[in-house]
Structure formats: C-alpha cells, structure tokens
Amino acid sequence: MKKEYFAHETAVIDDGCVIGKGTKIWHFTHIMTKCIIGENCNIGQNVVVSSEVVLGNNVKIQNNVSLYTGVICEDDVFLGPSMVFTNVINPRSAIIRKDQYLKTLVKKGASIGANATIICGNEIGEYAFIGAGTVVTKNVPAYALVVGNPARQTGWMSEYGHKLIFDNYNIAVCPESKEQYQLKENKVTKIT
C-alpha cells in the first residue's frame, strides 16, 4: 500500500501508527506506536508524539513540542513551539505510574502558544487561546483567552484569533470575519 503522507528521512515512526493523507512529519520527530494522526497535519522538527496520542485533521505542531500519552487534539488545533503536555500529576523517577496517566483534551480550533505547559487532566475548550508561556492548571472554557502562571482568563477570542470586544448588549464582532458572538452567563457562543 502506498504511503499517503510525507515523513522526513530522519523521522522515526514506530509500527502500529495510523497517519492520514497529506500529513507532513519533519526532521528528528518520533511518532510512537498506536498513535492516530489525522489528515493534513503538519508536525514540526524534534517533536515527540507518545503512544496512543490522537490528533484530528489539520493539526499544526511547531518545533520541539512534546505530546505525552493521554493527549487528544481535535481538528484544527495549533500547538506553538516548545509547548508541552504532562501526563502524570506527581511524577517520580523511581515510581512507575503508567496506570495513572490522565487524559487531556484540546478541542477543535484551540491554539496553544510557545512554551506553554498544559497540566494533565484538563480540557481546553473550542477556539480557546492559550498565551505564550502560560501554565494551564484547570479547564479552559471555549473561546477563552488565558495567560500567565497559573493561567488566568483575560478575555475572549474569535475563531479567527482576534480579541472580542463586547457591546452593551453582550455582542461582539470579529474584525476579520465579521462573525458575531454573544456573551451570556460567562459563556461565548457564535451567532449563526
């Protein structure tokens, strides 16, 4: 069967992976066994994708990123340079805790900035925006903009990545797409 993805000659891809059509895997990246990688993903150089990680379609992973077992990224997720996921809350070198890996879910369209750390067991909502260097220690709502250590919410973002400014009626318009969003009971939804 013909391979329908590109892998640089220095990439290591273990047996038992599923890799979608049009995906590109770059220099010195290691894709471990039992990973599922969707179509049209771009996985930068020096990336580690541990066993059983699941990536949706069109996921963009920049250089030097570590995705550990338990991570699931839905479609259209962006992972910035050198960001990292954890998979154990209390790691110790001498104690094996492989049966205690916690799941981390990054929902559709979310972006995680350079050098951010996502503590395991949390969910990043749809189209959330995690600022560079942020340390996420709890769930992040859909469309939320979070920054700092620990992460704190400072606003809301559109699906195009613009900070939303809400009027007196709690309606905001994305300056690029002109799509409208509503803020109600501390949740943002796109008006269709």
To the question of pTM greater than 0.85 for the whole model, the response is: yes
Instruction: Tell me whether residue 1 is in a domain.
Output: no
| 106 Cβ neighbours under 8 A, 6+ residues apart | 71, 72, 73, 74, 77, 112, 118, 123, 124
What per-residue confidence (pLDDT) applies to 45?
98
> 67 and 111 in one domain?
yes
Cross-strand bridge partners of residue 180? 173, 191
> 153 and 170 in one domain?
no
> 150 and 120 in one domain?
yes
Spans of the chain, pLDDT less than 50: none
> 173 and 130 in one domain?
no
Instruction: Tell me whether residue 94 is in a domain.
Output: no
What per-residue confidence (pLDDT) applies to 3?
87
Cβ of 58: how many Cβ atoms within 10 Å? 20
> 37 and 81 in one domain?
yes
> 172 and 150 in one domain?
no
Task: Specify whether the CB–CB gap between 156 and 170 falls below 8 A.
Answer: no
> 123 and 34 in one domain?
yes
What per-residue confidence (pLDDT) applies to 1?
61
Residue type, 31: I
- Identify the domain containing residue 185 by its residue range: 166-192
What per-residue confidence (pLDDT) applies to 59?
98
**Tally of domains in the chain:** 2
The Cα-based distances of 19 to 46, 139, 146 in angstroms read: 18, 29, 31
> 171 and 150 in one domain?
no
> 184 and 152 in one domain?
no
What per-residue confidence (pLDDT) applies to 46?
98
> 176 and 144 in one domain?
no
Q: Per residue in 38-69, pLDDT tens?
A: 999 999 999 999 999 999 999 999 999 999 99
> 172 and 143 in one domain?
no
> 38 and 82 in one domain?
yes
Q: Look up tokens 């969707």; give the residue.
A: 38
- CATH label of the domain that carries residue 151: 2.160.10.10
For residue 84, give both structure tokens: 């990292």
